[in-house]
Amino acid sequence: MPTTTIGHNPQLFGRDERSGIIAVESVGHFIRLFFRTGDRVHFHDEPFQPFILVNDPVMVSGCRVPCSVRQLEGDDFFRCQLLFDSWSECLTARDFLAAKTGKSYSAPDVPYLFFPDFSHQYMLSSGTTLFKGLEFSDLRCLALDIETACADGYVFSNPERPEDRIISIALKDSHGEEIVLRGDRLTEPEMLLALNNAIHSCDPDVITGHNIFRFDLDYIGRRAQMHGIRLNWGRNGAPPHITPRARWSLADRTLEYPRWDIYGRHIIDTYFLVQHYDMAGRNLESHGLKAVARHFRIAAEDRTYLDGDEISAVFRSDPEQLYRYNLDDVRESLSLFRLLGYPWFLQSRIFPYSFQNCVIRGNATRINALFLREYLYCGHTIPARTSGTTPFEGGYTESSFTGVVGPIAHCDVASLYPSLMLAYHLSPAKDCLGLFLPMLADLRRFRLAAKQMARDSDEDSERRYFDALQQVFKVLINSFYGYLGAALHNFSDPAAAAEVTRLGRVTIRNMIDLLVSEGAVPVEVDTDGIYFKPPDSCTSEESEQALVQRISQKLPEGIEVDLDGRYQSMFAYKTKNYALQNYGGRIIIKGSGLRSRSLEPYLREFMRDVIELLLTGKAEMVERLFDQYVVQIRACNIDVAWVARSETLNESPGSYSEKLRSGKRNHSAAFEIALASGSPYRAGDRISFYVCGSSRDAAAYEQCRSVTAFDPAHPDINVRYYIEKLRHVQKRFEPFLPKEPTLFDL
């Protein structure tokens, strides 16, 4: 396994070093481990006792299922591990405890600790993790994508309408085989049976697709049910286990989806991977497959494109074109999985979760699992979950200048919070075994080693591996601070997190003072870095590098400052909102105030054009630019997508309606369209709409229409409304534009 070349810490990677494990499942009173050796998959069964952690075994007195008790050493809250002979008996005990205490296992102050995932329990107890000794390319993967018919008179396909059948199923596996199951040659039941056969023939470890949970799998499942066809996709021939209304939260986003679990296999939705990617960069215009493929440059030059409302017509008139389109979709899905799935494959070697679950577990939850695994191995008591926390002050931010300035340099502290934790020995008070800081130190050491190996490697595949590995370690390192401040975890410590941020603010202020003493002018400060105008004496990259090195040497040991970037000019708008122009002319825009995806595309384009004019010293041309946009809006042939607004539903339409009736929220255009459509929209779905009518002060929720309803032959875009919105955006930049002369200036 390549990670052994940089050291193997059993606290990080688990103490079970068996290689080739690709899945963990339950089977009766046993756990079943699936192993991959080349093209062959075999399994091994071993006994396992699922468990519940309690403070006192008397809690289960009266429960009719037998259990043994493992007494843990120490003084923390969970002192006993109740061990059961089977999963069903463990679930019976869980239900007994829920009834007795009046609290479900997910309640924040529940007095017992139960983990609802059987394979997770096994991996916690045994130290087993997936994929040790395997390369990402060793996994057998199958990408899946379907196309569906839509009855005349409707906009969206509906799996409950008999005529809205599946008309194409494209499959591509990681060994290069491509299959298209054609609806012009097979009935829908024949297609579904052929899909069953294709899955068993490929025998994939991973099934992937873009938005596969909320569309492809859900549609397939409903059509199979309509025809009475059993989808025997499991490695044991079992049908998928479906959770109709699963929820996944990532920062401020919540996605509702029908979750599928397939015995012995993992389902990885590349839509979820894209959400993770965009959470860090926020540089995707859309999360749809076509836009994402273009962003990552994995779309073929001759790729076939079709609009959704063309699918049925093309199937009737030119089915070959439809099948090319479907196949291009599945090719892009597999390429996207290969690109974005690698870091999660590597994390699955570390954390006691399945590949599928590793993607949807939060950073703090995954870190908590590392501590639980080691504490159970050591037979040590485990503290109760941290209760609700009191908010504490975050990082230091400041914008001391607005307008255009240059040149600009950027310095930042490498991994500020982790460096402070190590330098000042800050760790959770509840970590009796002292795991936190040694694990963090090892992660940092592993990351530095991986970065060096990536630089030293002569082979592309090896370099990509070590680069991906160091990125994974970077995420984990930064997650250790996030874990400290997280509520509802066993070892988190908000007081320690508050001390870390306090020291962070002190460090940044020290850096500001040191820069000012050198003659530099700080412009924008954000938590761990400073954009500053170098002193006149700094005329080259080498001199700026030397300045930053002097700053670094005056800070406490272990706190290292790097020169992170050099720029020709900067537009400072407000705190955390700015734009940079590098020496190659490329413009980088940061901050939701300047690049929010919730804005209509024409407004985002206008702002970017204005910013470019400001950065290049052409502010006097902004008024002319505004006039050009007005002319475009007034033209009758504009693309409705240019002025359409796209919003993600943050709750179900039913919940929206209830809150509206009770006065708990305001009207929303996106939700009104969702309700009027009659389609089964869920939380996390995205809706694009435009405003019609003629009033510049129109209420969007009253005058909104779906972009799918737009008729180019009879355009009804509200021109006055969109010009007024453009005017409001222009006014935001007025403080940075040349002033009109007045009588006092003459």
What are the structural domain ranges in the chain?
2-134+347-378, 136-332, 386-427+493-592, 598-736
Cα–Cα distance measured from residue 576 to residue 599, given in angstroms and rounded to the nearest whole number: 18
What's the CATH number for 598-736? 1.10.132.60
What's the CATH number for 136-332? 3.30.420.10
pLDDT value for 723: 95
Cα–Cα distance measured from residue 634 to residue 718, given in angstroms and rounded to the nearest whole number: 9
Strand 112-113 to 577-581 pairing: unpaired
Q: Residue 100: CB partners within 8 Å, gap ≥ 6?
A: 59, 62
Q: Residue 87: CB partners within 8 Å, gap ≥ 6?
A: 26, 50, 118
State both tokens at 462: 């090896």
State both tokens at 134: 């395997």
Residue ranges of the chain with per-residue pLDDT less than 70? 1-8, 280-282, 389-390, 740-746
pLDDT value for 9: 82
What's the CATH number for 2-134+347-378? 3.30.342
Number of H helices, E strands in the chain: 25, 26
Q: Which CATH class is domain 386-427+493-592?
A: alpha beta
State both tokens at 718: 């509200």
pLDDT value for 465: 79
Cα–Cα distance measured from residue 84 to residue 68, given in angstroms and rounded to the nearest whole number: 7
State both tokens at 322: 């439809």
Cα–Cα distance measured from residue 407 to residue 531, given in angstroms and rounded to the nearest whole number: 10
CA 616 to chain centre: 35
Q: For residue 30, which amino acid is it?
A: F
Strand 266-269 to 206-209 pairing: parallel
Q: Which residue has the tokens 């493929």?
A: 293
pLDDT value for 684: 80
Cis peptide before 111 (omega within 30 of 0): no
pLDDT value for 281: 64
**3-state class (DSSP) for residue 435:** coil
pLDDT value for 7: 57
